[in-house]
Every structure is written in C-alpha cells, then in structure tokens.
Amino acid sequence: MSISREEVVHVARLARLALTEEEIALYGEQLGRILGHADRVTSLDTEGVPPTAQAIALANVFRPDVLNEPAPCLSQREALANGPAVEAGHFRVPRILEDGDPSGEEVAEE
C-alpha cells in the first residue's frame, strides 16, 4: 500500500510539521510499508472485542481538596524560565489572528 502525496501533506499539516519534498516522498513510502505490515491487525475480525486504552486501569483518582494545601505548582518565574521569547510575564508568540485564517505552510521553503 502507499500513501498519496496529498494525504502526506494533509497529515503533516495536522501535525504542524513543515516537511521538505524529499521528506514527503520518503514518509509516503515508509508509512505505506509500515501500515501495509499492519494489515494482519487491521484485517482481523474483532467483532465484540472491547478496546484497551490502558492495561492497568484505575477509576476516579481523587485527592482531598484541602484549604491552604495547594497542589505542587511552579512559580510564574519558573514557568517562564525556559520560554524562547518572554515579555511582561507572558510567553510572546507571533500573531495568531489576522485577516483571514493563518493557513500555515504545507511544504517547507528550501
């Protein structure tokens, strides 16, 4: 099986990865082979089998809500310490809203 260029570009956009043309071709071929190998799983009859999201399941994990005993929390200074761009106690990012929707790029500019 193979994954079309269009599908690879779509998935890369969902994953926020600016892939090069070379990577688009490579991952299309490799994903196709990996998913092809998984045919044994995808073609199996699993009628009536429940899915497992987590093998050792716990339910309703609560902690006591005790006044004056807050859960561990970083200070603002600590939380911001690794930020690549920080200003006035905030993380600074490029513009998010503009005229039209920022569509992002589908293919890396070389």
Contact partners, residue 21, CB within 8 Å, separation at least 6: 107
34 in contact with another protein (CB under 8 A): yes
Q: Name residues contacting another protein, limited to 36-55 (CB under 8 A).
A: 37-38, 40-42, 44, 46, 49-55
Which of residues 4, 5, 25, 102 is near another protein by CB under 8 A?
102
CA torsion, ordered 75, 77, 78, 84, to nearest 10 deg: 140
DSSP state of 49: P
98 in contact with another protein (CB under 8 A): yes
| 104's tokens | 């992002």
Q: Bridge-partner residues for 98, per DSSP?
A: 100
Q: Bridge-partner residues for 100, per DSSP?
A: 98
63 in contact with another protein (CB under 8 A): yes
Can you give the binding site for another protein, defined by CB under 8 A?
3, 7-8, 10-19, 23, 27, 30-31, 33-35, 37-38, 40-42, 44, 46, 49-56, 58, 61, 63, 72, 74, 78-79, 81-85, 91, 93-96, 98, 102-105, 108
